[in-house]
Structure 1
């Protein structure tokens, strides 16, 4: 089992299904082994109790709004850009708490997004970006909790979910 944890932000189930459907439609099947997700941290130690204790404490808060603000083309893929002052504040606080264990990527400012296509040609990504942008209207959804995953050198294995405003974590999601 990997000693690397990934931390993601949970979203409302209806939007989770929506973005999963987009991934099923546009992500190359051979590389689409994850559900849609909002990554907060890419590489934290799984064997440090302070990491999970900090996440449990951080989840003792109300759900908050994420604005799905636009469609972004990033070379070989397409994502939906998210905006939220609450998310930025939460991420910054977690960065401070996790500082001893952060890799360079996780020390950077958060640019929250949900990837719906990756690992395609730049041309194919540009086509999808134009297609999705043509009918895009910004909307809002709720962030509902934090989740940890074990990195398995490709696929991820769900570890724990901490719903916002709930002190206990659910295991074996």
Structure 2
């Protein structure tokens, strides 16, 4: 159980379906092992699962929040939709602070939230898709609905838990 852990943002059903459809249409089928996703952390130590799970649950005590889709990003060999949300950045910063000793160089760098809909294709194909999607209206804002924790298994991911965002109970504890 020492497989690295991945943390993603969960999206509302309509937003997830839109990004899944784009990914299914444009990601190389032999490499498309996952649904569309917003990776927040790529490789936390699997041995820290209890602490990671506790932090994910604690951080999920908040209302779901809007996430804008302000533009496209050309990845060289793919295309992604950029995401923007102050609350999403706060969630990520809270978790990064808790996990600072465990962060890889990739996870410690400045985070630019996105959903990749194409990757690992010839650059000309990626440029063509970027031009096509740039000519179309951007998808509407989505809602961040929770956090998901996964085990990275060298390609596919194994789900560990999905934790929905839920506001704290306003009733006093007795």
Q: CA deviation at 1:3?
A: 2.3
Structure 1 gaps, min length 5 = 168-173
- Is this contact kept in 1: 2:3–2:153, CA < 8 A? no
1:104-143 superposed Cα distances (whole Å, 9 cap, x missing partner): 1111111000000001011000000000010123521110
Question: After TM superposition, which residue ranges in structure 1, 4 or more long, deviate above 4 angstroms?
Answer: none
Q: 1:166 to 1:153 in 2, by over 3 A?
A: farther
Work out whether residues 145 and 161 of structure 1, in 8 Å CA contact, stay in contact via their aligned partners in 2.
yes
Question: Alignment length, in residue pairs?
Answer: 167
1:27 is aligned to 2:34 = no
Unaligned runs of 5+ in 2: 169-174
1:132 maps to: 133
State whether structure 2 residue 82 is matched by structure 1 residue 70: no
CA–CA separation in structure 1 for the residues paired with 2:139 and 2:156: 30
Larger Rg over CA atoms: 2
CA distance in 2: counterparts of 1:2 and 1:54, whole angstroms:
18
Q: TM-score, normalization: structure 1?
A: 0.92
Matched, 1:79 2:87: no
Distance across 1 between alignment mates of 2:12 and 2:135 = 25
Calculate the TM-score normalised by the size of structure 2.
Answer: 0.92
Residue in structure 2 matched with residue 7 of structure 1 by the alignment: 7
Q: Does the 8 Å contact 1:79/1:117 carry over to 2?
A: yes
Aligned positions of 1:9-158 closer than 5 A: 9-48=9-48, 49-137=50-138, 139-158=140-159
Partner secondary structure for residue 15 of structure 2: helix
